Amino acid sequence: MTEHEVTVGDITQLQVDAIVNAANSTLLGGGGVDGAIHRAAGPDLLAECRKLGGCPTGEARITKAYRLPARFVIHTVGPVWRGGNQGEPDLLANCYRNSLSLAIQNKLRTIAFPCISTGVYGYPADRAAEVATRTTVEYTKQHDGVSRVVFVAFGEDAAGHLKRALASARGA
The stretch among 8-16, 86-94, 132-140, 141-149 that binds ligand APR (CB under 6 A) is 8-16
- Burial (0-12, 13-18, 19+ Cβ within 10 Å), 116: buried
CA-CA distance, 152 to 16, in Å (whole number)? 12
Q: C-beta of 13: minimal distance to ligand APR in Å?
A: 8
CA-CA distance, 11 to 59, in Å (whole number)? 20
Among 119, 132, 151, 159, binds ligand APR (CB under 6 A): 119
35-64 residues in contact with ligand APR (CB under 6 A) are 35-36
If one asks whether residue 24 binds ligand APR (CB under 6 A), the answer comes out as: yes
CA-CA distance, 55 to 60, in Å (whole number)? 7
Among 17, 34, 48, 88, binds ligand APR (CB under 6 A): 34
Q: How far is CA 10 from CA 50, 93, 123, 154, in A?
A: 25, 22, 20, 6
CA proximity to 7, closest of 169, 164, 152: 152
Q: How far is CA 132 from CA 26, 54, 57, 171, in A?
A: 23, 23, 15, 15
If one asks whether residue 135 binds ligand APR (CB under 6 A), the answer comes out as: no
If one asks whether residue 120 binds ligand APR (CB under 6 A), the answer comes out as: yes
Among 20, 116, 149, 162, binds ligand APR (CB under 6 A): 116
Among 32, 54, 145, 160, binds ligand APR (CB under 6 A): 32
Among 30, 54, 124, 145, binds ligand APR (CB under 6 A): 30
Q: Is 34 one of the catalytic residues? A: yes
139-158 residues in contact with ligand APR (CB under 6 A) are 152, 154, 158
Q: Do 132 and 92 meet the contact criterion of CB atoms below 8 Å apart?
A: yes
3-state DSSP assignment of residue 119: coil
Q: Which residues are catalytic?
A: 34
Binding positions for ligand APR, rule: CB under 6 A = 10-12, 22-24, 30-36, 78, 114-121, 152, 154, 158
